[in-house]
Amino acid sequence: MLVLGIESSCDETAAAIVNEKKEILGECLWTQIEDHKVFGGVVPEIAAREHLEHIDEIIEHTLKKANVKAEDIDAFAASSGPGLIGGVVIGVMATKAMALALNKPFIAVNHLEGHALAPRLTGDVKYPYLLLLVSGGHCQILIVRGVGDFERLGTTIDDAAGEAFDKVSKMLNLGYPGGPIIEKMAELGDEIRFVLPRPLTNSGDCNLSFSGLKTAVRKIIESYAVDGNIEHVNLDKKDTADICASFQLAVADCLIHKLEKAIKIFKQECPEGKDIVVSGGVAANSYLRKKMAALAEKEGLIFSAPPIRFCTDNGVMIAWAGLERFQKGYTNELDFKPRPRWPLDENAPKAAGAGGVKA
Ligand code: KG4
Ligand code: ZN
């Protein structure tokens, strides 16, 4: 069984072909990061134009790398939301066109389900499992019971974790995307030098909040302004590294604290569940991975995370989620409309960073 998957919901144009033996036959990824860097974040119009320009050659290259003819593909899957709608539409149209021309099924994949199921392709993760999904637009804790079967235990009520990394990096003039830069800087820093808040620690639920943390970092930076001018901040490399390390520790503390709560619920609801998993762009963070691995060991769970290149957006995760859907017989009609907002747990209340309010 061969499934071709396409990703174009943010700033990566990507395609991949996978089979049911978890083999990646071919993959191709074009990142637009350089185009967006100067703006400090993704510009939707530029992203859409870039996707349009590159999608055909990305698909062609992927087929070539896999040494597979388009007519040998059994189903075509596209990341169909949530995300930046211009890019999503381009990927969905290209995928539908192939499905139509070759008379093969079309599968609409929720981008978040791509992240959520990626650890099953790259490791031996079994349903049900506890998932921390942390990316540039999302931050959720979910029980994954099966394909399309999610229970959201917690979500950010404002910024996503990756968004907080990106914003702090921008405030420190370190560049975009912020996550990898802050992680690197933090390696040189003292994580207990600056005291930062741990929002929602006592909220009693598994929800998270990062906007207060970001504001607290801004106040620290402002306290270094020369003559009250925040354009001129007197921070040396050591100060900057210490801010990065203190911020990264605060984010990790918040996530681990809420995961401890979520593990209790997971163990009660799914006593047969053995796995705790992290995925999404922020899952590339090795500091967070180490903390989660230690937590899993303490709780008697197995920790896994996809290799770093499968944490950030890619075509492989969409092809794999498409294949899992196809195996279940879940295909979509060609009139499927892309969904800029598409929560994994449709029963959970709407929230930012959950695919429900913003992408
Ligand atoms: O999943 P992704 O590629 O795109 C979305 O669907 O959002 O995630 C991108 C996010 C960015 O905010 C980026 O700063 C963050 O993931 N990120 C990281 C790291 N690598 C990427 N955050 C923390 N540490 C990292 N090493
Ligand atoms: Zn993503």
Using DSSP, state whether 82 is helix, strand or coil: coil
Q: How far does residue 116's CA lie from ligand 2's centre (Å)?
A: 10
Give the chain's mean pLDDT.
Answer: 94
Q: How far does residue 195's CA lie from ligand 2's centre (Å)?
A: 30
Residue 356 pLDDT level (bands cut at 50, 70, 90): low
Q: How many CB atoms lie within 10 A of CB 60?
A: 13
C-alpha radius of gyration, the chain, whole number: 20
- Between 351 and 354, residue with greater pLDDT: 351
**Residue from 133, 165, 248, 291 whose mutation best tests the ligand 1 pocket (most atoms within 8 A of CB):** 165
Whether 26 is in the pocket of ligand 1, judged by its Cβ within 6 Å, is: no
Identify the residue whose C-alpha is closest to ligand 1 atom 3. 312
What is the phi/psi pair of residue 212, to 5°? -65, -35
Q: How far does residue 91's CA lie from ligand 2's centre (Å)?
A: 14
**Percentage of residues in the chain with pLDDT exceeding 70?**
99
For 235-287, the pLDDT digits (tens) are 999 999 999 999 999 999 999 999 999 999 999 999 999 999 999 999 999 99
Separation of first and last alpha carbons in the chain? 31
Q: How many CB atoms lie within 10 A of CB 3?
A: 28
The pLDDT of residue 358 is above 90: no
pLDDT for res 178: 95
Q: Model-level pTM? A: 0.94
The pLDDT of residue 134 is above 70: yes
- Spatial separation of the C-alpha atoms in residues 202 and 146, rounded to whole Å: 31
Whether 220 is in the pocket of ligand 1, judged by its Cβ within 6 Å, is: no
For 50-75, the pLDDT digits (tens) are 889 999 999 999 999 999 999 999 99
Whether 322 is in the pocket of ligand 1, judged by its Cβ within 6 Å, is: no
Q: How far does residue 57's CA lie from ligand 2's centre (Å)?
A: 22
- Spatial separation of the C-alpha atoms in residues 141 and 134, rounded to whole Å: 9
Q: How far does residue 320's CA lie from ligand 2's centre (Å)?
A: 14
**Number of residues in the chain:** 359
198 φ/ψ sector (left φ>0, alpha ψ -120 to 50, else beta): beta
Residue 351 pLDDT level (bands cut at 50, 70, 90): confident
> What would the DSSP string read from start to end of 47-77?
HHHHHHHHHHHHHHHHHHHHT--GGG-SEEE
Long-range contacts of 127-131 (CB under 8 A, 24+ apart): 128/266, 128/270, 128/272, 128/273, 129/273, 129/274, 129/275, 129/276, 129/277, 130/259, 130/262, 130/263, 130/266, 130/273, 130/275, 130/276, 130/277, 130/301, 131/276, 131/277, 131/278, 131/279
145 DSSP assignment: E
Q: What is the mean pLDDT of residues 293-320?
A: 97
Whether 284 is in the pocket of ligand 1, judged by its Cβ within 6 Å, is: yes
Whether 275 is in the pocket of ligand 1, judged by its Cβ within 6 Å, is: no
Please give the biggest Cα pair distance in the chain: 68
Residue carrying the six token digits 């008379």: 103
Q: What is the mean pLDDT of residues 7-28?
A: 96
Whether 11 is in the pocket of ligand 1, judged by its Cβ within 6 Å, is: no
Q: What is the mean pLDDT of residues 86-93?
A: 96
Q: How far does residue 285's CA lie from ligand 1's centre (Å)?
A: 9
